[in-house]
Structure 1
């Protein structure tokens, strides 16, 4: 991420962080089901915190980067070039557990997790990751990948528990520009998953 600096009069430069990621959005019915799982988890464990809006629920496949002030258009162009050559078949995704990851104090992500139901998603993400590597696109993601959907950032970590499988068949994956802290997403590109 570029270093932030002030202007000639000592005013700080913009600290707005612009995030770029490749992801799969939840369709409305899956998003509603995910919100219901969150409501049950909050009720069962007294979880307090900020839920993610249903229209923002997604699986981050690759966190490309965080940038101060604006997105580097060369990175966006390089991603488009790397991904254009992929032709991927559609696949089913199913999450069957809710749990948590460690986070900053008071901001523990409450997440959907999966077993066998996310293996095709994991394989697709691996092909996408390698396509970016071949094209020389550097990202903040690593090769290791734990598919998950962040539902909320809570004040504690609820214990992991099984849920009725929550699944869907993604029709596309997207390049998303997120204005961090503003809950604003800009869809920069979409690529269909065929079949």
Structure 2
């Protein structure tokens, strides 16, 4: 069993009604720059989108914990204590497709083939430990790991791109400040090295 961090607290500051709290993997280093460059190419090709994810906020969501005013610190502490129980090695992520998902406006996202297996496994583990901690988390059988580049009214047909690849060495608990283009990382969990 993991050692829980005694006295864990989160300084949430002001929480807006549309803020989100979720576990995620952040795009890092060269992969983040490559995803941003691809978004720039898409913008030149298709025109200005309704919304473009700021480079510093490029991520892959794993599990949503709470929205807006429904969040309170003990809930996040309980989620973090559940996440302490994750035991997983670091893994490689490879995203090689760009496509549109449903929505209004439509998310234009990067997805992958076998390059997202580690994300699927981490998502399943997070759902399991959160369910064991009495969270009402339903593991979505068709979890589709993706990185949102932008949102736009136009649909983009699926196209293959040069793979954007990085090693996921940690996952994080994020406070997304709605409409501000910024995230606060509340906590980080390293994934064990394969070394």
Name the TM-score, length of structure 2 as normaliser: 0.85
> Does structure 1 retain, via aligned residues, the 8 Å contact 2:127–2:137?
no
Q: Indicate which of 102, 118, 121 corresponds to 1:120.
A: 118
Matches within 5 A, 1:72-111: 72-104=72-104, 107-111=105-109
Moved more, 14-23 or 147-156: 14-23
Give the drift of 1:63.
1.2
Unaligned runs of 5+ in 2: 1-14
SS in 2 for 1:92: strand
- Count matched residues: 179
1:41 aligns with 2:42: yes
**CA RMSD, 1 decimal:** 1.9
> Does structure 2 retain, via aligned residues, the 8 Å contact 1:16–1:179?
no
Give the drift of 1:42.
2.6
| Structure of higher CA gyration radius | 1
Give the drift of 1:140.
7.6
Matches within 5 A, 1:1-195: 16-46=17-47, 48-68=49-69, 71-104=71-104, 107-139=105-137, 142-195=140-193
Unaligned runs of 5+ in 1: 1-13
> Does structure 1 retain, via aligned residues, the 8 Å contact 2:16–2:68?
no
> Does structure 2 retain, via aligned residues, the 8 Å contact 1:64–1:138?
no
